């Protein structure tokens, strides 16, 4: 009855999965709202009619609220819906499984027996190999003993011959003495010659190695010098570039070209650059203390006279004079546009570059 009723219900209110769950012979239907995750239970112990009425009411309520519900049912678990044919099919399947299981067990036993036989054969082969190895070891030991015996016999014979020579007295004559002395002198001369030849060979090898090392060093130095020259060229190209400054102001903008100054260290003050600064004086004092000591002033006066010699005036202007001229020209141009830069003349161009009103174009 329940299954028929579920089939006749309108398909709009039910979803695809429809199952009824039987737990302890009590029919329980879980109704799940699709929009929410809440469940509502319906319990009925005895009568199917009461359950059908509840299902009908739920179907009507879903059509009013326009919500879809899921009915979970599993008809195979309910006693009333099981058929005899299904039970018979299950019994036949069980019998076939038992037959297949017996066949598999018989085949497994045969395979295990064959494996055991193969293992026994392998063990016998290993035993035979061990026996052969032991035989070879024994044969090698016998050969060694024979060789040692032969060596011992030869050594004994040599010792006997030496003893015979010692026992026989040699007749000392003038001829034998002259031969001994002459032979010694010859041997000494030959040894000296061999020594000198060996020394000469060592010296030639040492000289060759020294020349090779010097050549390698010279090649490395040439490479380093070439790299340094390339770096200097690149830095000169960067410093000698001409830049254009574009000044933006309420009056308008204008372009003018200025060469970038060659300052050794941008953030270094003019006091450190000068030759008579404290930095250079302190280094001179240290040198004097190392050479002459603290109390000898005559030497200090001589060195001061040498340092205070006047330099000859050159006809051409120096780099600092050229910088001052350029800085003055820049100040005049800036004053025309209403801009002012305060500070040292040497750092004026650096301040212009840092100014936010100016933009740099290469």
In this prediction, residue 27 carries a pLDDT of 37
Task: Read off the pLDDT of each residue in 88-109 and give the average, rounded to a whole number.
Answer: 80
Between 79 and 136, the higher pLDDT residue: 136
Give a three-class secondary structure readout of the chain. CHHHHHHHCCCCCECCCCECEEECCEEEEEEEECCCCCEEEEEECCCHHHHHHHHHHHHHHHHHHCCCEEEECCHHHCHHHCCHHHHHHHHHHHHHHHHHHHHHHHHHHHHHHHHHHHHHHHHHHHHHHHHHHHHHHHHHHHHHHHHHHHHHHHHHHHHHHHHHHHHCCCCCCHHHHHHHHHHHHHHHHHHHHHHHHHHHHHHHHHHHHHHHHHHHHHHHHHHHHHHHHHHHHHHHHHHCCEEEEEEEECCEEEEEEEECCCCCCCCCCHHHHCCCCHHHHHHHHHHHHHHCCCCCHHHHHHHHHHHCCCCCCCCCCCHHHHHHHHHHHHHHHHHHCCCCCCCCCCCHHHHHHHCCCEEEEC
Percent of the chain whose predicted confidence (pLDDT) is above 70: 37
In this prediction, residue 262 carries a pLDDT of 47
> In this model, does residue 78 exceed pLDDT 60?
no
99 pLDDT band, cuts 50/70/90, is confident
> In this model, does residue 178 exceed pLDDT 80?
no
pTM: 0.19
5-25 pLDDT per residue, tens: 444 444 433 333 333 433 333
């Amino acid at each position: 009855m329940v299954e028929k009723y579920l089939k006749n219900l309108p398909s709009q209110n039910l979803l695809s999965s429809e199952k009824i769950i039987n737990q302890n012979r009590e029919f329980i239907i879980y109704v799940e709202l699709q929009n929410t995750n809440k469940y509502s239970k319906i319990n009925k112990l005895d009568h199917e009619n009461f359950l059908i009425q509840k299902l009908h009411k739920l179907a009507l309520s879903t059509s009013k609220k326009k919500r879809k519900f899921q009915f979970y049912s599993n008809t195979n678990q309910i006693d009333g819906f099981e058929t005899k044919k299904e039970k018979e099919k299950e019994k036949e399947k069980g019998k076939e499984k038992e037959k297949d299981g017996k066949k598999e067990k018989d085949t497994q036993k045969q395979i295990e027996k064959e494996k055991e036989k193969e293992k026994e054969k392998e063990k016998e082969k290993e035993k035979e190999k061990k026996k052969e190895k032991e035989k070879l070891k024994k044969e090698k030991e016998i050969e060694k003993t024979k060789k040692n015996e032969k060596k011992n016999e030869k050594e004994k014979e040599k010792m006997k011959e030496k003893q015979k020579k010692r026992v026989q007295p040699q007749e000392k004559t003038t001829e034998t003495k002259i031969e001994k002395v002459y032979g010694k002198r010859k041997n000494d001369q030959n040894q000296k010659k061999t020594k000198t030849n060996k020394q000469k060979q060592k010296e030639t090898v040492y000289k060759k190695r020294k020349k090779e090392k010097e050549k390698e060093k010279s090649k490395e130095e040439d490479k380093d010098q070439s790299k340094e020259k390339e770096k200097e060229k690149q830095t000169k190209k960067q410093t000698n570039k001409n830049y254009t400054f574009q000044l933006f102001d309420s009056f308008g903008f204008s372009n003018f070209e200025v060469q970038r100054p060659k300052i050794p260290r941008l953030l270094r003050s003019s006091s450190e650059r000068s030759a008579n600064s404290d930095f250079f004086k302190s280094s001179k004092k240290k040198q004097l203390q190392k050479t002459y000591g603290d109390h000898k002033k005559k030497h200090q006066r001589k060195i001061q006279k040498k340092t205070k010699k006047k330099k000859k005036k050159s006809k051409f202007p120096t780099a600092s004079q050229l910088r001052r001229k350029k800085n003055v020209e820049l100040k005049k141009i800036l004053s025309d546009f209403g801009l002012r830069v305060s500070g040292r003349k040497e750092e004026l161009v650096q301040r212009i570059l840092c100014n936010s009103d100016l933009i740099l174009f290469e």
